[in-house]
Amino acid sequence: MKRFNNIQNKLVLMLALFMGILSVSCESDELNDPSFDNIDDELNLSVSASELDLQEKFINNEVNFNWSTGTNNGTNSAISYTLAIDLADNDFSDPIMEPVEGEKNRFSYSVDHGSLNNRLLESGLNAGETYNLKARISAEVVTSGEIQTAETNFTVTTFKPVSDKLFILGDATPNGWDIANAIELSASGSQRGVFVYEGQLTEGNYKFAVSQDDCFCQDFYTKDPDDDSVIVYNEGGSGDDIQWTITEERNYKIRVDLLNKTISINAVEGSPFDKLWIVGDATESGWNIESPAEFTQSTEESFIFTYKGNFNPGEFKIFAGPLGDWCGEWYRPSQDDVPMQNGSVEQNPGCDPDNTWLVTEETAGRYRVTINTIENTIQFEQIKLYIVGDGSPAGWDIANPVELTYDNGDFVFNGELGADNPTGEFKFPNQTGDWCGGEWVNSATASQSIDNTDFIRTPGCEGPDNKWKLQDGDAGTYEIRINLDAETMSITRL
């Protein structure tokens, strides 16, 4: 028992020594660190420019604040620093900004024009005005609490950030002067403040609004009276309402740069590309840009391209060539992982931003994809398949045919054939309610046996109206699988 107590006492002593060493080491950065020995420097503060004209087109330019160490009066104590920015006439009791607060070994602070402008506007300052400001650095000696300060004065001119949306309206545009339905331009994914409109314009005038708010008292961009290539920021609908004029009806591409206040207007002849391809692991192409699946170009409107195919869970984008070049021309959504939804599409070259559409388990299926390369719009239409005929469960009711399910590229029917008519017929439309409005999967020959799965695809009511016909003894439960990409079909009795 005595031996155990001696061991226990030794352990307590060792623990006490260890805690003492630990305590000294924890305080070393404040008391015994040689870097704090006899610091005796006059505290001063400087800013990289005494007159700051903040501009959005230089949004990433930086403003730098630098300060000296100050003094710890030979105490070997650490010094902590607090940087505050306020109006020149204020007393820092409630500063506009305090970006550095109680930090040691910190002797500078940098902020870009955009962030500084946002902080100033959020604090209640107005855009487009010049303010006298001052910055103060406070250096506190940690052990004694003694505080030294240094200040510097500077001026800042703020800016009003440009809109992140832009709309075209006027009697030259498809939606006229209906501002609530003004057409939104496509925002550039790589250049701030740049917007593009591609589409038809007729004889008349147009200008640009920053929203679809149904009021002509909002902000507009109008034409400079002396230069068609220069835009004027017309805040609150004030100023001269000078508009651009279209004298010839045709397709145009308009590029507006809000930061540099410029506009370019060019007539467009047909499509900018002769071929388009689909690429991505959601499609039959995979990530093969050497020989991907191709869109079909309209013979009547060369700027319309259509693709039909099966889409599995994954991603995809649309390639405009040249083949094999990952940094070539693309059609991509404005953001990444966008679902298949109708709307605008961005046409841009290069590898970035590499945005793609996303297909999920819920949205997988067969689709018709249509791109208008003049208006830069995309449309997704899911293709479905139905069974109709007096040999099918729905009879000849085209308004209510039985829909086939989609299964990894296959359209599948599971059900009774010949229940109401043992020698009935059937075929497969891709639409409801209209005999001639869509496409059909017909048998290759008239009154074709269900043992023969050869088929043809016919548009509307133009092709031969062939059907499969049940024979005596064929009535029963079946699984039918149709793959339109592989052009295969199976009919299996269950």
Same domain, 417 and 312: no
Asked which of 382, 400, 419 is the last residue of a domain, the reply is 382
- Tokens coding 482: 């149709």
Q: State how far the Cα of 177 lies from the Cα of 206, in Å rounded to an integer.
A: 9
CATH assignment of the domain containing 464 = 2.60.40
Mean pLDDT of 446-450: 97
Q: Is residue 447 part of a domain?
A: yes
Same domain, 429 and 471: yes
Strands, DSSP E only, in 226-376? 227-234, 244-246, 250-257, 262-267, 277-279, 293-294, 296-297, 304-311, 314-321, 329-332, 343-344, 346-349, 357-359, 365-372
Name which of 55, 51, 50 is nearest 159 in CA terms.
Answer: 55
Q: Is 21 helix (H, G, I), strand (E, B) or coil?
A: helix
Q: pLDDT tens-digit profile of 338-374?
A: 999 999 999 888 888 899 999 999 999 999 999 998 8
Q: pLDDT tens-digit profile of 161-203?
A: 988 899 999 999 999 999 999 999 988 876 888 998 888 899 9
Domain extent, residue 309, equals 277-382
Q: State how far the Cα of 54 lies from the Cα of 49, in Å rounded to an integer.
A: 11
Same domain, 378 and 305: yes
User: What band does 268 get if pLDDT is binned at 50, 70 and 90?
Assistant: confident
Same domain, 64 and 130: yes
- DSSP label at 173? S
Q: State how far the Cα of 176 lies from the Cα of 183, in Å rounded to an integer.
A: 10
- Do residues 371 and 318 make contact, with C-beta atoms less than 8 angstroms apart? yes
Distance of CA 229 to the CA centre of its chain: 29
What pLDDT is recorded for position 258? 93
Same domain, 66 and 121: yes
What pLDDT is recorded for position 25? 40
Q: State how far the Cα of 437 lies from the Cα of 466, in Å rounded to an integer.
A: 17
Q: Is residue 27 part of a domain?
A: no
What pLDDT is recorded for position 17? 46
Same domain, 418 and 369: no
- Do residues 338 and 319 make contact, with C-beta atoms less than 8 angstroms apart? no
Same domain, 254 and 281: no
User: What band does 238 get if pLDDT is binned at 50, 70 and 90?
Assistant: low
Report the Cα–Cα distance between both ends of the chain, in Å, rounded.
Answer: 85
CATH assignment of the domain containing 144 = 2.60.40.10
Q: Is residue 7 part of a domain?
A: no
Q: pLDDT tens-digit profile of 132-141?
A: 999 999 999 9
Q: Is residue 59 part of a domain?
A: yes
C-alpha torsion 152→153→159→160, nearest 10? 90
Asked which of 342, 367, 382 is the last residue of a domain, the reply is 382
CA atoms lying within 13 Å on the CB side of residue 47: 22
pLDDT of 269 higher than 60: yes
- DSSP label at 270? S
Q: State how far the Cα of 427 lies from the Cα of 435, in Å rounded to an integer.
A: 12
What pLDDT is recorded for position 282? 97
Q: Is residue 211 part of a domain?
A: yes
User: What band does 96 get if pLDDT is binned at 50, 70 and 90?
Assistant: very high
Q: pLDDT tens-digit profile of 400-443?
A: 999 999 999 999 999 999 999 999 999 999 999 999 988 999 99
Q: State how far the Cα of 93 lies from the Cα of 68, in Å rounded to an integer.
A: 23
Same domain, 196 and 251: yes
Same domain, 378 and 461: no
Residue 402, C-beta contacts closer than 8 angstroms, at least 6 positions apart: 386, 387, 388, 392, 393, 394, 413, 415
At 195, which amino acid appears? F
Give just the sign of the alpha carbon dihedral 190, 193, 194, 198.
Answer: positive
- Do residues 482 and 439 make contact, with C-beta atoms less than 8 angstroms apart? no
C-alpha torsion 317→322→323→328, nearest 10? -40
**How many separate domains does the chain show?**
4
Same domain, 406 and 374: no
- Do residues 374 and 227 make contact, with C-beta atoms less than 8 angstroms apart? no
Same domain, 212 and 194: yes
Q: Is residue 2 part of a domain?
A: no
What pLDDT is recorded for position 437? 85
Same domain, 153 and 188: no
Q: State how far the Cα of 476 lies from the Cα of 143, in Å rounded to an integer.
A: 93
- Do residues 193 and 225 make contact, with C-beta atoms less than 8 angstroms apart? no
Q: Is residue 368 part of a domain?
A: yes
Buried b (16+ CB within 10 A) or exposed e, 323-354: eeeeeebbbbbbeeeeebeeebbbbbeeeeee
Mean pLDDT of 27-38: 47
Nearest-5° angle of CA 457, CA 463, CA 468? Answer: 65
pLDDT of 93 higher than 50: yes
Asked which of 349, 367, 382 is the last residue of a domain, the reply is 382
Backbone angles phi, psi at 15, to 5 degrees: -65, -40
CATH assignment of the domain containing 366 = 2.60.40.3620
Q: pLDDT tens-digit profile of 452-475?
A: 999 999 998 888 999 999 999 999
Name which of 366, 426, 377, 370 is nearest 398 in CA terms.
Answer: 426
Residue 464, C-beta contacts closer than 8 angstroms, at least 6 positions apart: 442, 446, 456, 458
Q: Is residue 4 part of a domain?
A: no
